[in-house]
Amino acid sequence: MYTLLSGLYKYVFQKDEYCVLILGLDNAGKTTFLEQTKTKFSRNYKGMNLSKITTTVGLNIGTIDVGKARLMFWDLGGQEELQSLWDKYYAESHGVIYVIDSTDEERLSESKNAFEKMISSEVLEGVPLLVLANKQDVETTECASLLQCFTPLISPLSIHPSSSSSSTMDSTVSAYSEKLREMSVLSLLCSCLYSQPHPNTFGQFEDMEVKSLDKRASGQAFEVILKSPTDPSPERPQTLALPPQKKEPSLGELQRRLEAAEERRKSQEKQVLKQLAEKREREKEVLTKAQEVNNNYSKMTEEKLHHKMELIQENRMARLNALKQRLREKELHAAEVRKNKELHTELSG
């Protein structure tokens, strides 16, 4: 009972946090979708210039609040050499958004292969998956080729695809967030209230119908039937299994998590070392420039001092020469006076 009350309290008063992966090929528009989503759902976020968005190397992280849910998006790089890192994040994700470039018909088969490899992972079993056909507002959209390529993979999974453009982004993200919250609450109610046998149909929840499955050794299991958002009638139900109950991870799973953590640590360490190296380079450039400025100042000061000393020496020599000239003139005048005096003495004698 305490678990139920605690869960209901958190549901009403606290924001549930969900980690959602954004996957897809490079240039499919994953980062643009994330930036547009943050711009629309975050009041104080101005967003970056979309023309400056480049191919993602590593991952981009964004957080938004939608109603009572908080979604943390992990936008992973889609290059072929980076797709091997996708499965390192599966265990920590609550949902996956797979983005397809509906204007690039040449790479649809490549996107299909990456999607098929992704859904074959056992770690993603029961995780909500949204297939997003991006760039629907472009005239060269290849909807027919896209449906023909992905329908064989989507149909067995009972996944409802969605299209994305600037006008449909709000409804897409809001609906996906609401589904994550509804599944979380249904899992809590089913595990706490119905541990004993109960009717096959649990009940109706807005556009969902919950039915019980045969009880397993790990506990009671339920099936969630989602009605199509465009057709409220339950004639074409779409089923989505609830996430399995939490169990102790196996040694292989622990090893994978440790490897993922080690790779993230190495990546962060590499980024830190790169930043330190760049900082040292900048400091070296600043020091070199300061030393160059100091040398230029010292040289200029020395030249000015030398020039000033030359001027002082020239003035000193000029004054000495003038003084000598005056002394010679005085000596000549004194000699002439003595000569005149002697001549006067001789004449008077």
Per domain, the residue ranges of the chain are 2-247
pLDDT at 125: 84
Predicted pLDDT at 237: 43
Judge if pTM exceeds 0.85: no
What CATH class is the domain 2-247? alpha beta
pLDDT tens digit string along 294-320?
Answer: 999 999 999 999 999 999 999 999 999
| CB atoms inside a 10 Å sphere around CB 66 | 20
Instruction: Please state, in angstroms and rounded to a whole number, the distance separating the CA atoms of residues 144 and 148.
Output: 6
Q: What number of residues does the chain have?
A: 349
**Which of 64, 49, 54 is CA-nearest to residue 17?**
64
pLDDT (0 to 100) of residue 239 = 43
Annotated binding site for Mg(2+): 31, 56
| Predicted local distance difference test score (pLDDT) of residue 241 | 44
Annotated binding residues for GTP, written as ranges, equal: 24-31, 78, 134-137
Contact by Cβ (8 Å): 238, 229? no
- Binding site residues, as ranges? 24-31, 56, 78, 134-137
**pLDDT tens by residue, the chain, 349 residues:** 556 666 666 666 677 788 999 999 999 889 988 888 888 888 777 777 777 888 888 788 888 888 778 888 999 999 989 999 999 999 889 889 999 888 888 888 899 899 999 988 888 888 888 888 888 777 766 665 666 677 666 655 444 445 555 555 566 666 656 655 555 444 433 443 344 444 445 445 455 565 655 544 444 455 556 555 554 444 444 444 445 555 677 788 888 888 898 899 999 999 999 999 999 999 999 999 999 999 999 999 999 999 999 999 999 999 999 999 999 999 999 999 998 888 888 888 6
Q: What pLDDT sits at residue 11?
A: 60
Give the pLDDT confidence score for residue 320 in this predicted structure. Answer: 93
291 is catalytic: no
Three-class secondary structure assignment of the chain = CHHHHHHHHHHHHCCEEEEEEEECCCCCCHHHHHHHHHHHHCCCCCCCCHHHCCCCCCEEEEEEEECCEEEEEEEECCCCCCHHHHHHCHHHCCEEEEEEECCCHHHHHHHHHHHHHHHCCHHHCCCCEEEEEECCCCCCCCHHHHHHHHHHHHHHHCCCCEECCCCCHHHHHHHHHHHHHHHHHHHHHHHHHCCCCCCCEEEEECCEEEEECCCECCECCEEEEECCCCCCCCCCCEEEECCCCCCCCCHHHHHHHHHHHHHHHHHHHHHHHHHHHHHHHHHHHHHHHHHHHHHHHHHHHHHHHHHHHHHHHHHHHHHHHHHHHHHHHHHHHHHHHHHHHHHHHHHHC
CA distance 203 to 211: 8
> Beta strands 16-23 and 95-101: pairing type?
parallel
Catalytic-role residue among 79, 271, 313, 325: 79
pLDDT at position 146? 66
